[in-house]
Amino acid sequence: MARFLKAGESQNQKNLNCHTSLQQNIQKMKQLFSYGLNKDFSMRTLKLRFNQKEACLFYYGSIVDGAIINLNIIKPLLENNGDSVGNIVSIENIEEVTDFETANENINSGKAILFVDGDKTAFAMDVADFQHRAVSKSENESTIKGPQDAFTESMNTNISLIRKQLHNSQLINEGIQIGERSKNEVNLIYIKDLVNNDILENVRSRLKEISTDSVRNIEVLEQYLEERPYSLVPTILYTEKPDKATSYLEDGFIVLLMDSSSACLVVPVTFWSFFHNPEDRYLRFFYANFTRALRLLCFYLTLMISASFVAIANFHSEMIPPDLLLAITASRERVPFPLIFEVLIMEIAFELIREAGLRIPNPLGPTIGIVGALILGQAAVEANIISPIIVIVVALSGLSSFALADLNINFTVRLMRFLFIIAAGVYGMLALTGAFLLFFMYTASIKSFGIPFFSPMSPHFISSEDTVFRKPIKKEIFRPSFLRPKDLQKKAKS
Amino acid sequence: MQNNGFLRTKEIIAITLILIGIKLSDSTPTLLAQKAQNGFWSIPILSFVCIFPGFLIMLYLLNKYQDKNVVELFEAINGKWIGKILGIVLFLCAFLSLTLDSRNYIEQIKLLYFPQSPTDMIYFIFIAVVFFGAKKGIEVIGYTCWIAIPFIKVSALCVLLLVMSEIVIQRIFPIFGAGLPIILSEGVKKASIFAELFFLLIAYQSAKKNTMFRKGITFGTVLAILEIILFYLVYASVFDYNSIEKIAFPYHDITQFISFGEFFTNIETIFMVFWLFAAFLKFIIFIYITTWIFAEIFAIRNFEPLLLPFSFLVIMIGLLPMNSATNELVLRETLLTVMSPIFILLPYILWLTAWGKGDLKQ
């Protein structure tokens, strides 16, 4: 109880309005930001030329652009004449602040606050310059054809990357503050005359419901926003490509951005969003559908090939042609383990190589190839721990998993694969079919922000029919109607 | 109940096709061939002719009494108590066909693919999958059916194409098999092979619009009967006059017949996967609507928790028959024969009552 009371008190203190006296304000600010202890908190007093009053400027030296402060705030204030502060400083964005709470937030988000003696309102001026990396190539979602830009950790850069592709005054960037101690801003981006208001309101209220001390970045936000944290199936799309985000915006989806994340979230999504790749849209009709067909095959191979092999070899061996069956049996002759055990060993080994390959420092990179190929492949076979055919099967399933570019869906299939292998090992095709059916039905029952996961295929909705395969781009007339956009028809066809 | 009325014509067609159409691949043809021999393929036509007008009357009545499902319709026409009794009869028919059919499918799986496994184990796995599937609700069932149906039908089509070389069309003669009187009487007696249609009426309001449901189920039924007749013809012309009644599971026997080129000679497991898919879905639908009928009779709104006890009951009762022969040739046949008059006459009685009461005038 005492804790809560205390929290309430400090809340009251923060909400205090600014004083008229500059000295009181300075004192309060010093106390709030632990001036002196906090090395990068800067304070600069000056005498304004236009009204001959004392003033004081506060900011965090580490997150503002010093040159801008000097040139556009301090210099004009010291030298120029005018009627008010707003007229004198040459800063894009000036906000009037009347309480310490807002002042606190503003300083934290990289603004400078100017208190003037005898004035109850202070001025917040945007001089933020958070350090970030330059716009670089997308590394995790690489495409051959199409724009290569990737989001960076700076929100302004990210929005500019989106606006670069979408010249539309209806593109809205709405900020919502979340977090109790560290207030971070989530930016909701949508096209106002397309997006469905119910879905937008749903996203907004879900964001506002998040009650936690801080949400650092979009990756953490994704987990707070998720409806089913224990589910294997993702319901939010995570992408680092502005062009992909823009194409979703154009269809009436909502994009979430946060500072300090080099990616964005797209909501609501369907299964097909995870299955697609931005390149599919840039390639010509047949080329794109060819890669889609390949990806579909990869989807099956990753999920099922090991399990199917276990089921067929263990329970339905009559299916394998006799010559092949003899070859397989001969190669397994000296292996002491049951087949399912062999497959599991190899699958886990492959996952190990994959995880290690990801974390290994660059100079040691080639080692992983040697370890993987030689030791696990060759030597394990020669040592009769596994049979050669298993290496083929597992390599195929592992390789295919890389074709599913989206990290989330990639994990889904990689994890489900193990369940299927075990199901196949228990009762052959009967259990495997049952497990697959249940997985499928579970996925069909999932909703992402109220949108059924397999729409627009089932339940059927009008859409551009860009699901498993896509149509020629000129024939894509409609936006996905499961989003209930305000304007269903793309203006492609008159 | 996870039902917001989102199903559309497509999903209803898919549900109907899976629930009715799968009869082409279970042991129903064997049952029919026992008496009618190679004329058995015409029995579904007769049964269809017997039962379809009645079914259309049911749809008409449901349309007249808006916003009701089949059990509520009984009560609206015949009053609370007789309506409930009719509902219970419907439920018993559904439940008994569910258990006997499921045992039948278990025997198929066991005999063909897992001859050494105990029946109860397969039964348990099968019904466990069905239970968890049914838990997802009618909408998800509908979506799944719609996505699964192309695969199931393409696999059936492949069977047809691959078996082409084995067909000797003359084998359908003598065209009436064991004789016209037998075919006629069997056709009427086995009319209840389409009884599932009546059970499906419980889901009348699960479609977005009632017209969608009517369209879907009518179209689905017609498609299913065409498919069934086509496949039965194929069975009759692949297996001969004498052997047809000794074949236990014609569809699976045909899949064992066929090969894909010289190298892949035993490809039945591929077709078994799709057949299993259909079988799982059939029982998911079946157990769901059976439980739904039960819940409607006793006005239980949230009935999905009932699925577990019902699944358990299905296993327990389904295991009672000693062997598949008793189950199939005695119990199931008796059940079909008993059910037929009910479903042939029921719609007319309802219609007459409603007409007598003057409810149809508006």
Amino acid at A372: G
pLDDT of residue A4: 52
Q: Is A442 on the interface with B (CB under 8 A)?
A: yes
Mutant choice from B105, B107, B140, B263 vs A, greatest count of A C-beta within 10 A: B140
Per-residue confidence band for B1, with pLDDT thresholds at 50, 70 and 90: very low
Q: Is A402 on the interface with B (CB under 8 A)?
A: no
Q: What is the pLDDT of residues A56-107, one digit of tens each?
A: 999 998 888 888 898 888 888 888 888 888 888 888 888 888 888 888 888 8
Amino acid at A16: L
- State how far the Cα of A490 lies from the Cα of B256, in Å rounded to an integer: 51
pLDDT for A14 beyond 60: no
- State how far the Cα of B232 lies from the Cα of B251, in Å rounded to an integer: 9
pLDDT of residue A308: 94
Contact B129 A434 (CB under 8 A): yes
Nearest CA distance, B214 vs chain A (angstrom): 18
- State how far the Cα of B282 lies from the Cα of B20, in Å rounded to an integer: 8
CB contacts of B7 in chain A (<8 Å) are 459
DSSP string, A377-400: IIIHHHTTSS-HHHHHHHHHHHHH
Q: What is the pLDDT of residues B301-354, one digit of tens each?
A: 888 899 999 999 999 999 988 787 788 788 888 988 899 999 999 999 999 998
What mean pLDDT, rounded, does chain A reach? 87
Contact A444 B143 (CB under 8 A): yes
- State how far the Cα of A39 lies from the Cα of B324, in Å rounded to an integer: 85
Compare B155 and A460 and report the one with higher pLDDT.
B155
Nearest CA distance, A317 vs chain B (angstrom): 9
Cβ A42 vs Cβ A59: under 8 Å: yes
State which residue of chain B sits closest to A312, comparing Cα positions: B269
In CATH, B9-354 is 3.90.550.10: no
pLDDT of residue A12: 52
Q: Is A457 on the interface with B (CB under 8 A)?
A: yes
Q: What is the pLDDT of residues A92-148, one digit of tens each?
A: 888 888 888 888 888 888 889 999 888 888 899 988 888 888 888 888 888 888 888
Cβ A124 vs Cβ A112: under 8 Å: yes
CB contacts of B283 in chain A (<8 Å) are none
Q: What is the pLDDT of residues A20-45, one digit of tens each?
A: 888 888 988 888 888 888 888 888 88
Q: What is the pLDDT of residues A388-414, one digit of tens each?
A: 889 899 989 988 998 888 889 999 999
In our burial notation (b when 16+ CB lie closer than 10 A, e otherwise), range A195-208 reads bbeebbebbbeebe
pLDDT for A382 beyond 90: no
pLDDT of residue A138: 85
Cβ B194 vs Cβ B20: under 8 Å: yes
Contact A319 B263 (CB under 8 A): no
User: Which residue, B149, B148, B112, B127, is CA-closest to B266?
Assistant: B112
User: Which residue, B210, B200, B215, B223, is CA-closest to B149?
Assistant: B223
Nearest CA distance, B144 vs chain A (angstrom): 6
DSSP type of residue A17 = B
pLDDT of residue B3: 52
- State how far the Cα of A418 lies from the Cα of B165, in Å rounded to an integer: 41
Q: Is B275 on the interface with A (CB under 8 A)?
A: no
Contact A316 B281 (CB under 8 A): no
State which residue of chain B sits closest to A443, comparing Cα positions: B140
Cβ A164 vs Cβ A246: under 8 Å: no
Compare A306 and B324 and report the one with higher pLDDT.
A306
- Tally the C-alpha atoms within 13 A of residue A346's C-alpha that lie toward its C-beta: 32
pLDDT of residue B230: 92
pLDDT of residue B362: 62
Mutant choice from A441, A460, A461, A467 vs B, greatest count of B C-beta within 10 A: A441
Average pLDDT value for residue range B38-44: 86
Percent of chain B with pLDDT over 70: 98
- State how far the Cα of A198 lies from the Cα of B226, in Å rounded to an integer: 45
Contact A437 B281 (CB under 8 A): yes
3-state helix, strand, coil in chain B (%, to 5): 80, 0, 20
For chains A and B, CB pairs below 8 A equal 96
**Alpha helical stretches, state H, B245-358:** 250-257, 268-297, 307-318, 324-325, 333-357
Nearest CA distance, B26 vs chain A (angstrom): 16
Nearest CA distance, A432 vs chain B (angstrom): 9
Nearest CA distance, B267 vs chain A (angstrom): 6
- State how far the Cα of A74 lies from the Cα of A42, in Å rounded to an integer: 14
- State how far the Cα of A125 lies from the Cα of B358, in Å rounded to an integer: 80
Which of A430, A433, A454 has its CB closest to that of B143?
A454
Mutant choice from B269, B283, B285 vs A, greatest count of A C-beta within 10 A: B269
Q: Is A317 on the interface with B (CB under 8 A)?
A: no
Q: Is A438 on the interface with B (CB under 8 A)?
A: yes
Contact A437 B144 (CB under 8 A): yes
Specify burial of residue A133 (Cβ count, 10 A radius: 0-12, 13-18, 19+).
exposed
CB contacts of A316 in chain B (<8 Å) are 113, 269
Which of A438, A444, A459 has its CB closest to that of B132?
A438
Angle between helices B43-64 and B180-189 in degrees, nearest 10: 30
CB contacts of B137 in chain A (<8 Å) are 445
Q: Is B206 on the interface with A (CB under 8 A)?
A: no
